[in-house]
Amino acid sequence: MRAGAWAFGELIFSALDGATAEAKALERGCVEALKTSAATRYINGLRLAKVQNTCMIVGAFGILETEVGRLSAYRCSKKPLHDLASTLEQEGQGCLARDLRIIIRAVNVLKHGRGPSHDSLLQLQDKPSYLAVKADAEEFFCEGDVSEVPALVDVDSKFAAAASRVLREVIEATDPWV
């Protein structure tokens, strides 16, 4: 193991877990405050929680992709996380591989917008409960939801928890910092 490898994985976990917990606490506080006040700061607080989750998840999976790409098995790969998902599937971890592929596509949609990943998520059979994807013609996930931000994937607390879980399980299964 490279010096500090385990510690770096733990730092990623801690950063993502801390940011998602902070966003969830912000969300809870704003929801509670909105029961007695419709102040803009509480509405923006709900939106901020989603944006914080989005930034952390996109960043964490970007770091994971870079680190997996450094592993000898994936060094020549143009899509190291997709190849890693195939490896996980071959090793009998089909559920984790499926969730990893879904999160990878969602992160791609968050970064790039409409395209093949978005189309793929829209066509998914048996979408997991943590995934909400806006179709081309839709303007809102839930009209009247003041926390909604302009995005094709809803990065709510369920999605953030799922992405965090998948990241942790993938790192524990593969340890890319070895």
**Alpha-carbon torsion (120, 122, 125, 128), positive or negative:** positive
pLDDT at residue 3, as a whole number: 47
Cα–Cα separations (whole angstroms), residue 66 to 74, 86, 127, 151, 155: 10, 17, 27, 25, 22
Q: Please state, in angstroms and rounded to a whole number, the distance separating the CA atoms of residues 57 and 151.
A: 14
Q: How many domains, the chain?
A: 1
pLDDT in tens, 127-178: 999 999 998 777 777 777 777 888 899 998 899 999 999 988 888 887 655 4
Domain that holds residue 29: 5-174
pLDDT(78) > 90 = no
Q: How would residue 2 be classed by pLDDT, with cut points 50, 70 and 90?
A: very low
Which range among 57-61, 115-119, 122-126, 169-173 shows the weakest confidence by mean pLDDT?
169-173
- Render pLDDT for 22-61 as a digit per residue (tens, 0 to 9): 999 999 999 999 999 999 999 999 999 999 999 999 999 9
